[in-house]
Chains A and B, each alone.
Chain A
Amino acid sequence: MTRAKTVSALFVGLVLAFLFTPVVVVVLFSFNAAASTSLPLEALSFRWYEAAFSNPLFRDALRNSVYVASITALTVAVIGANASFALTRRPSRLLNLFSSFVVTPLVVPGLFLGVALLVFYDRVDFRRSLTTVIIGHVLITLPFVVLIVNARLMRLDRSIEEAARDLGATPFQTFRKIIFPLVRPALLGSILIAVAWSFDEFIVTFFTIGGEITLPIMIWGMLRRGIDPSVNAIASVILVTTTLATVVAARLLSARGFIP
């Protein structure tokens, strides 16, 4: 190993440690037998998980989060993938412009989107509920789906499409038998990313939710009320879900699918 390599490896290791420290801390303390937050842990236990799962509020929040994430992912996949097909079919300057429009929610702070939606719902007398939350989640996950599926479609060799047509396949057959199977991994990957994002989303949810709660909203409430170690168990439930979704997504896409 050259010196540059050693230094690089050391640096990369340090950055990764920095990135994963908070995550590790939360998971670690979710198994802590004591309520204090000092290391080393004296004993391990599942008591905070038991506390969380026996809390009806938690079960409510979990159900709502799963519901919101599923509907969000399905909606965003259908409208996002369709947009991607249109955006990549015959690229033009106008369509490029439209692509940047679709990606806008990514570069507007979540807080601004959240309060803008709050103001809008009030204006049009749209009562806030889980539906209004789902709308917000579709808005912010849309860029991910479109970017990921776009990237896949643009790398697709279009001549196979022509080949299929030349061999007598109808446009629909070409799509169903050729194009869709090739795009499916990217589509599934982007759906999982949407699930991961939605499951963890706090800020837009905070401003667009009615009387219900989702997991991040519940955590927020607990943080404001004071120290309750079962918050670590709830956070770990979110972490496990988002990490699993991301791992599978990354496998489907190969990590490069995320590179713009």
Chain B
Amino acid sequence: MAVDLGHRLAERAASFLPARGETRDRWLSALQLAPVTVFLLVFLVAPLGIFFVYSFWVTRSHTLVAEWSIGQYTEALTDSVWRDLLRNTFVIALLTATVTVVIAYAFAHALRFHLRRYQEILLFLVLIALFSGYLVRIYAWRTILGNEGIINQALIRIGIVEEPLSFLLFSRSAAILVLVNFLVPLAILPIYGALQNVRDEEVEAARDLGASAAAAFRKVTLPLAWNGVFVSFAIAFIIAAGDYVTPQLVGGTSGAMIGRAIANQFGVTFEWPRGAALAFLTLGIVLATLAVLRAGSARLVR
């Protein structure tokens, strides 16, 4: 690919040589891209690079030692503490992403095909939801679901229960509920964007040719929107797998996730290599899963 790219570059460069305006444009473009490039190299590539290198180092009596080892990775995969946590994270993230995408798809579909007249205002509300509080949103669920929270207080007052239902909060389902809550607005946008590519005539043509509504959806609408659906799923999956606040504030034991453990390696315990290895392992598992899903879905949805 690099060779291909180099070749293309050379080709482009050659084709641009004669025109003076174009040469100037290219200089201008380079100048305009320079700040972002430098910024990203220094504050994105370098930190992630160092972080990656550290995952192969070790700590001795609370100091980092540049001693190469894959011990952190093997430990994370064999020690049941980390393995269980990774598995739990994986399950929660997968469930979260699935529920999120189903809700987001249904929402975007309703907007695009049935509530066309109100698209603008509804989309506007989605945007407000998207930018209205991450931390705030998560802790609000404690006010809603907690022992002293709205639901339990109401249930007690009505007399349905005598003791607060403690399973509402600090459980796996609470973690999923909260993650879905802040991921749905984010997932709606790419799907809605993709549904814009579906033209009414295409769906109508399928129906005219005798396809049932379900078949038209399955064979026409969904394949055309699939890219957006997949992007939404990927974003939701990645963010859910790496979330730190949700497992900490509402997850409890059954909703424990790797994010909290990773963060702890940088605070409570000074185990940076382990934290880095856990982070890259999580990212690796997530990306591998997405690649498999991508390949599998390419065959199923078309």
Contacts and interface: CB of A to CB of B under 8 A. Distances in A.
Interface in B255-295: 259, 262-263, 266, 272, 275-276, 279, 283
B134 A200 contact: yes
B115 A8 contact: yes
B106 A11 contact: yes
A2 B213 CA distance: 15
Interface stretch (A35-43, A44-52, A57-65): A35-43
Given A26-B140, A259-B196, A37 B131 contact: no
Interface string B23-52: 001101110110110011001101110110
Interface SS, A side: helix
A119 B276 contact: yes
B24 to A, nearest CB: 8
B215 interface: no
Given A139-B44, A259-B193, A109 B137 contact: no
A185 interface: no
A116 interface: yes
B128 interface: yes
A109 B115 contact: no
A39 B154 contact: yes
Contacts of B230: none
A111 B272 contact: no
Q: Identify the 5 closest CB pairs spanning chains A and B, nearest first.
A: A109-B242, A22-B140, A38-B153, A120-B47, A8-B110
A155 interface: no
Report the contact-size class of chain B (Cβ under 8 Å from the partner): 35 or more
A21 B28 CA distance: 48
Given A116-B50, A123-B50, A111 B40 contact: no
A89 B21 CA distance: 12
Contacts of A36: 148, 153
Interface SS, B side: helix
A15 B191 CA distance: 16
Contacts of A118: 266
A247 B234 contact: no
B110 A247 contact: no
A109 B135 contact: no
A112 B47 CA distance: 10
A12 interface: yes
A21 B25 contact: no
Contacts of B157: 38
A78 B242 CA distance: 30
7 contacts: A12-B115, A82-B35, A111-B244, A115-B262, A120-B47, A203-B244, A207-B266
A22 B44 contact: no
Contacts of A102: 36, 40
B107 A219 contact: no
Contacts of A21: 140, 144
Contacts of B193: 259-260
B62 to A, nearest CB: 13
A86 B123 contact: no
Nearest to A16: B125
A258 interface: yes
Interface of B: 5, 8-9, 12, 22, 25-26, 28-30, 32-33, 35-36, 39-40, 43-44, 46-48, 50-51, 54, 103, 106-107, 110-111, 113-115, 120, 122-141, 143-144, 146, 148-150, 153-154, 157, 181, 184-185, 189-190, 192-193, 196, 231, 234-235, 238-239, 241-245, 249, 259, 262-263, 266, 272, 275-276, 279, 283
Nearest to A104: B44
A119 B134 CA distance: 24
A130 interface: no
A242 interface: yes
Interface stretch (A66-74, A176-184, A249-257): A249-257
A146 B32 CA distance: 13
A87 B33 CA distance: 8
B130 to A, nearest CB: 8
A225 interface: no
Contact of B279 (A22, A90, A115, A245): A115
B32 A219 contact: no
A112 B234 contact: no
Nearest to A227: B148
B150 A255 contact: no
A186 interface: no
A160 to B, nearest CB: 17
B127 A82 contact: no
A4 B114 contact: yes
A202 B245 contact: yes
